Amino acid sequence: MQRIVVLAGGIGGARFLRGLKAAAPQADITVIGNTGDDIHLFGLKVCPDLDTVMYTLGGGINEEQGWGRTDETFKVKEELAAYGVGPEWFGLGDRDFATHIVRSQMLAAGYPLSAVTEALCDRWQPGVRLIPMSDDRVETHVAVEIDGEQKAIHFQEYWVRLRASVDALAVVPVGAEQAKPAPGVLEAIAEADVVLFPPSNPVVSVGTILAVPGIREAIAEAGVPVVGLSPIVGDAPVRGMADKVLAAVGVESSAAAVAEHYGSGLLDGWLVDTVDKGAVERVEAAGIRCRAVPLMMTDVAATAEMARAALEMAEEVRG
């Protein structure tokens, strides 16, 4: 039984996991989920990246959005707006609200986020073990300058309300330094046969998970192959606005630059899309094995091929 650990963010990570499950149906997959996107709204704790993985693998995701539930209605959202209670820019549906209510009441009863996530996954049966990176509160904030005034805003406000339309001057996972890996995270990494970095946002998703003290070190010291798949294809993010946050950390929006950003101390292998085959030499020069394969997750079969290529590369570099 191959044990695979995947550091996942939201949409890209969740879609990759669907292909990984198809490529390695017998594998024992543990997902370490990003919680830096979490936001507290209307007295509830919303965990977008955990929910996207849970809903996508559990069959409840709104497929074209990649977040939120299918067959959604927005009665509660309308009523909140009628009371003048904001924010209105974050689209929480009625079905989705139930997840946040259950999560919030369990947290209020004293259960840690990891136990809450396990309980929620009991319903959804995602077919992987989903563990938040930490039970401690970490929330990514983005420093921006608006009308000449510098301020830090919540990542969701930057991402959803502003659509990343202004430059991110800095991206700060608030609370990361004090956060501890959630129970099971370090154990899963230590017992893993392979660790995968899916095409999630390298700054606000995988980067945030690596910012929790102990996680980066555990992966680097685990002595098992670590293979990543580039979220940047042809110098642009496949989806989302990763280029905006990459710029904030001084990383150019290219497949090679992201591999160098993770570094050979962490990455053993890196898959780039065929359009970026010219990047292979530069990545290999950085001490990271590199191959160019199709990386567009157009359907589960295509994604399964990517996952297979990543697992094959892991065996090539194992040594």
Binding residues: 51
Choose between 156 and 254: whose C-beta lies nearer to ligand FO1: 156
Instruction: Provide, rounded to whole angstroms, the least separation between the CB of residue 52 and ligand FO1.
Output: 6
Residue nearest to ligand FO1 according to CB distances in the complex: 10
Instruction: Provide, rounded to whole angstroms, the least separation between the CB of residue 35 and ligand FO1.
Output: 10
Choose between 154 and 291: whose C-beta lies nearer to ligand FO1: 154
Give CA–CA dist 135/158, Å, rounded.
24
Instruction: Provide, rounded to whole angstroms, the least separation between the CB of residue 12 and ligand FO1.
Output: 8
Residue whose pair of structure tokens reads 């549906």 in the numeric block: 93
Instruction: Provide, rounded to whole angstroms, the least separation between the CB of residue 269 and ligand FO1.
Output: 24
Instruction: Provide, rounded to whole angstroms, the least separation between the CB of residue 70 and ligand FO1.
Output: 13
Going through 124-207 in order, the beta strands assigned E by DSSP cover 129-132, 139-146, 149-154, 170-174, 194-197
Choose between 90 and 262: whose C-beta lies nearer to ligand FO1: 90
Choose between 51 and 135: whose C-beta lies nearer to ligand FO1: 51
Instruction: Provide, rounded to whole angstroms, the least separation between the CB of residue 204 and ligand FO1.
Output: 7
Give CA–CA dist 188/183, Å, rounded.
9
Give CA–CA dist 54/71, Å, rounded.
16
Distance from the Cα of residue 204 to its chain's centroid: 8
Instruction: Provide, rounded to whole angstroms, the least separation between the CB of residue 314 and ligand FO1.
Output: 25
**Helix/strand/coil for 237:** strand
236-237 and 129-132: which strand pairing?
unpaired
**Helix/strand/coil for 103:** helix
Amino acid type, 310: A
Q: What number of other Cβ atoms are within 10 A of residue 242's Cβ? A: 26
Dihedral of alpha carbons 120, 99, 181, 112, sign? negative
Give CA–CA dist 134/110, Å, rounded.
15
Q: What number of other Cβ atoms are within 10 A of residue 185's Cβ? A: 26
Give CA–CA dist 109/129, Å, rounded.
23
Choose between 193 and 205: whose C-beta lies nearer to ligand FO1: 205
- Which residues contact ligand FO1 by CB under 6 A? 9-11, 37, 46, 48-49, 51-52, 67-68, 90-92, 96, 156, 159-160
Choose between 204 and 295: whose C-beta lies nearer to ligand FO1: 204
Give CA–CA dist 248/250, Å, rounded.
6
Choose between 103 and 291: whose C-beta lies nearer to ligand FO1: 103
Dihedral of alpha carbons 51, 258, 178, 163, sign? negative
